[in-house]
Chain A
Amino acid sequence: MSTLAATGIKIDQIRAQFPVLHQLVNGKPLIYLDNAATNQKPKRVIEALARYYEKDNANIHRGIHTLAERATKAYEETRHVMQRFIHAKHVEEIIFTRGVTESINLVAATYGRKFLNAGDEVILSGLEHHSNIVPWQMICEEKGAHLKVIPVTEVGEIDLKAYRTLLSSKTRIVAVNHASNSLGTINPIKEIIDLAHQRQAVVLIDGAQASAHLPIDVQELDCDFYCISSHKMYGPTGTGILYGKKELLEEMPPYMGGGEMIKEVTFAKTTYNELPYKFEAGTPNIADVIALKEAVSFIEELGKEQIAAYELELLKYAAQRLSAIKGVRLVGTAPEKVSVQSFIVDGIHPFDIGQMLDARGIAVRTGHHCTQPLMDRFGIEGTVRASFSVYNTKAEIDSLAEGVERTINFMR
């Protein structure tokens, strides 16, 4: 039985904490390998959600009654937990959003709108998710700024040499992911950030695929913005954070207007609240934010490094099993990767593989994974993507490989 290396914790013990894993799908035990889309939630997260609604539900911050106090305290505790989780200097640098997509849109619509001018440039990479492309396209169009794209190499890495040549005095913003959702490539973000700073550009990191797998220290990285989605790190859907350097957040105009983000309102003029509330208009996603704290505890108790080491073992095993199948081609073979393996099969559409695997109770993702430009780069329509979390096993990867082989044999 597999264990989490140094901790000695058995994977079965971890699996026992995830109720959703223990079910039959199409008459077969569920094998959940779609973790890069969203991973499953441990019982403690689910219980925290239920507990909040059963015991503490109240609107936060302005109430003076006991429940409001409890809810506010729990909500703000998560902010401190997230500050620690990414090593932010100040707690007010943690803004709760709906997730990475909203975080990026917020920065594009506020920082972008205020500081981008006609002729300025925003640099992205060819590895980006649509949510780290479209908000920049929208603001660039509005301001007459231009998008520049760092090309991707054959193994699926950012071409750093090309990046250096793209950087110029016109560069205002660089936005790249920490790890690629389609290929799993871990990007050298420290180097990317340092190079951008030499040109006085600010850097936003899309951390959607990194938060559950990679150490994040925003001060050491010196990144200007870092975005996280809760649901990709064992937490509830519909919440996440935007980290921003305090001095930048203070200069940015508010994103949405409404309750909570104001200091004083008259019909003549409104003054805005302080950080982080300036960016948290309206009643936030209180329950999910509170439960996110439990997801962080889950990760920290197992140890992110231990989790990553085990997932890497799964990744290597999957790459080895899949590449041994005749007709299978791995897409994304960078040496530094999180536990995501994309592949295609000669002559068989990814949808058909996905459908066949689903019939065997195996959940994978098929298609372009919201990275159409990246698929175009490789001249493919899409891939089959298997992505692994700490509760997956080598036996599940064996089932995946068998399912793929069986489909190929049938279709030939």
Chain B
Amino acid sequence: MKPVDQIQNEIISEFAVLDGDMEMTVFYIMELGQKLPVMNEVDKTDDNIVKGCQSKVWLTARLENGNVYFEADSNTAITKGLVSLLIRIFNHQTPEAILNADLYFMNKIGMERFIGTQRSNGFAAMIKQMKLYALAFKTKKELAGE
């Protein structure tokens, strides 16, 4: 799997092509969301809703062969696109890599400018939830190892 920063840099260059055109950027994010693998309807429970998001975002995670895999969906296309960026970065990574990840791509692509403060807070909540999953998996692994 590519390291976290390599994927972040790829995202930054992809967004650079859009040249700050707001409409193209929003279309692009929605398009990314449309490509996100479909989440199982039974996983869309209240327990799996990420708290702190304006839109509804469902997130699940599982650990397979030491790597974390996330699935997500949202009731809005734009949010689905945003969460797909995080999934692209974090899927197949180890819990440690997720916990240690320093996400800088949002600033580089000027995310706050096109999603606003409220959505930026929601985005931060998604990251927090993903890191919490990673922490849980790491702790579980460590306990099992002892």
Contact = CB atoms under 8 A, between A and B. Distances in A.
Interface of A: 26-27, 348-349, 351-352, 355-356, 358-360, 381, 410-411
Contacts of B25: 359
B50 interface: no
A352 B55 CA distance: 10
Interface string B27-71: 100100000000000000000000000110000000000000000
Contacts of A358: 22
Given A349-B75, A355-B26, A359-B25, 16 more contacts: A27-B21, A27-B22, A348-B77, A349-B55, A351-B55, A351-B76, A351-B79, A352-B30, A352-B76, A352-B77, A356-B23, A356-B27, A359-B22, A359-B23, A359-B114, A410-B30
Give the 9 A-B CB pairs with smallest separation, nearest first.
Answer: A26-B22, A359-B22, A349-B76, A359-B23, A351-B76, A352-B77, A359-B26, A355-B78, A352-B76
B54 A356 contact: no
Contacts of B79: 351
Interface residues of B, number: 16
A407 to B, nearest CB: 9
Contact of A410 (B21, B27, B55, B114): B27
A355 B25 CA distance: 11
Nearest to A410: B27
Contacts of B114: 359
A26 B18 CA distance: 13
Nearest to A406: B23
28 contacts: A26-B22, A26-B23, A27-B22, A348-B77, A349-B55, A349-B75, A351-B55, A351-B76, A351-B79, A352-B30, A352-B76, A352-B77, A355-B26, A355-B78, A356-B23, A356-B26, A356-B27, A358-B22, A359-B23, A359-B25, A359-B26, A359-B114, A360-B22, A360-B23, A381-B75, A410-B30, A411-B30, A411-B77
Nearest to B114: A359
B78 A352 contact: yes
Nearest to B79: A351
Contacts of B54: 351
Contacts of B75: 349, 381
A356 B27 CA distance: 8
| Interface of chain A: mostly helix, strand, loop or mixed | helix
A356 B115 CA distance: 11
A291 B124 CA distance: 40
B80 to A, nearest CB: 9
Contact of B77 (A26, A349, A360, A381): A349
Nearest to B21: A27
Nearest to A26: B22
A26 B22 CA distance: 6
Nearest to B24: A359
Given A356-B26, A359-B114, A351 B21 contact: no
A360 B78 CA distance: 15
Nearest to B29: A355
Contacts of B23: 26, 356, 359-360
Contact of A351 (B22, B27, B78): B78
Contacts of A352: 30, 76-78
Nearest to A355: B78
A356 B28 CA distance: 11
A27 B22 CA distance: 8
By CB atoms of chain A within 10 A, which of B75, B76, B114 has the most?
B76
B57 to A, nearest CB: 12
A349 B53 CA distance: 15
Contacts of B27: 356, 410
Contacts of B76: 349, 351-352
Contacts of B22: 26-27, 358-360
A348 B25 CA distance: 18
B9 to A, nearest CB: 25
Contacts of A356: 23, 26-27
B73 to A, nearest CB: 12
Contacts of B55: 349, 351
Nearest to B25: A359
A362 to B, nearest CB: 11
Contacts of A26: 22-23
B132 to A, nearest CB: 25
By CB atoms of chain A within 10 A, which of B23, B27, B75 has the most?
B23
By CB atoms of chain A within 10 A, which of B22, B30, B75, B78 has the most?
B22
A410 B78 CA distance: 13
Contacts of A359: 22-23, 25-26, 114
Nearest to A348: B77
B79 to A, nearest CB: 8
A352 B23 CA distance: 12
A410 B29 CA distance: 12
A411 B26 CA distance: 12
